[in-house]
Amino acid sequence: MRKQPTLLTEEQALAFKQVILQNRPFEVGLEGNIWTGKIMQIYLKSTYGVDYKSGIYDLLERLNLSHQRAHFDYGNADSDKQKAFVSDLKNQLLEADEKTVVLMYDEFSISERPTSYYGWAEKNPTLW
């Protein structure tokens, strides 16, 4: 397969990459929550005046981006904070009367974004 030539300068391409990685379309004045090829074409046309009729995915390949399912990477938990949390919870439950409700949410239940979406990410960032 023959790759399409790039229409952006190197600086523009790197700036575009940062926008894709750090923002959602609605955060840069476009409709939508997920970067699709069509939305990227609209962004590039309005921002840089270039018209990618085709080749948008070649551009993303050159920028070392791939479409990946979102996931979270958590660091190691602080054992002192965990112990304090359990102790506080026990105390709250022991001191609660019949009118007290202790409500807890699993950390995966609360999110600013939908829990299941795909986004653009750098390919193998730990290998570079």
Distance CA 24, CA 8 (A): 21
Provide the pLDDT confidence category of residue 4 given band limits of 50, 70 and 90.
low
- Answer whether residue 128 shows pLDDT above 70: no
Instruction: List for the chain the helix, strand, coil content (%; round to 5).
Output: 45, 10, 50
Provide the pLDDT confidence category of residue 108 given band limits of 50, 70 and 90.
very low
Phi, then psi, of 22 in degrees rounded to 5: -110, -10
Average pLDDT over residues 30-54: 91
Distance CA 113, CA 58 (A): 28
pLDDT in tens, 45-81: 999 999 988 888 889 989 999 877 655 555 567 888 8
Provide the pLDDT confidence category of residue 103 given band limits of 50, 70 and 90.
confident
Strand partners, 119: 68
Question: Which residue shows structure tokens 């030539």?
Answer: 5
SS3 51: coil
Answer yes or no: pTM beyond 0.85.
no
- Answer whether residue 3 shows pLDDT above 70: no
Provide the pLDDT confidence category of residue 105 given band limits of 50, 70 and 90.
low
pLDDT at 112: 53
pLDDT at 86: 86
Task: Note whether 70 and 119 are within 8 A (CB).
Answer: yes
